[in-house]
Amino acid sequence: MPRRRSVLGASLTACLLACLACLTGCGAADGGVRVEGPAPSRIPWSGPVYVLDWKSLAWQHPDVMDLTGRTVLYGVEWHGWGSPRATATATVVDFACAGGCPHHDYKGFPVSIAFSGLVERQYAAYYSRASVTPVRQPAPGWAEDTSRVRLHVPKP
């Protein structure tokens, strides 16, 4: 028994061929698509901005924060939170000296902080990098190097 094409199949094929014929002519009339004027500018982020500490807890301009497992920022005073580069001053208490600090006296020292690398997620943005610089150079020998810290960012 010979196979017969259905009416629906024939009309679908005809429609597809008509669409392909129309698409092949796009932009071919005068050498292609012409673009004029400046490119659209990127719309700046306007939602909430967070930073995740080393335990992945979200904070907005925290005054105390566990930057790493051994470095804690205290008395943080932020400038420009939510901008591409937020800066702050603080005191670092570095628990890396646990074995080297006499009488377990955890010393602190003043620092400058910069958060950068805003990463946008669905409804918020997160800083992805931190840089902590001692105000009085150099940092104590027992201090953890926090000059370049990668911060946690939620997965998309």
Largest CA distance in the chain: 97
Delimit the domains of the chain by residue range.
Answer: 49-150
pLDDT tens digits, 53-88? 999 999 999 999 999 988 899 999 999 999 999 999
pLDDT tens digits, 83-120? 999 999 999 886 665 555 655 566 788 999 999 999 99
Helix, strand, coil proportions of the chain in percent (round to 5)? Answer: 15, 35, 50
In 3D, which of 83, 75, 85, 82 has the Cα closest to residue 108? Answer: 75
Query: What DSSP string runs through 13-59?
Result: HHHHHHHHHHHHTTTTTTTS----SPPPPPPPP-S-EEEE-TT--EE
Cβ atoms < 10 Å from Cβ of 82: 17
pLDDT mean over 2-13: 55
Q: What is the pTM of this model?
A: 0.66
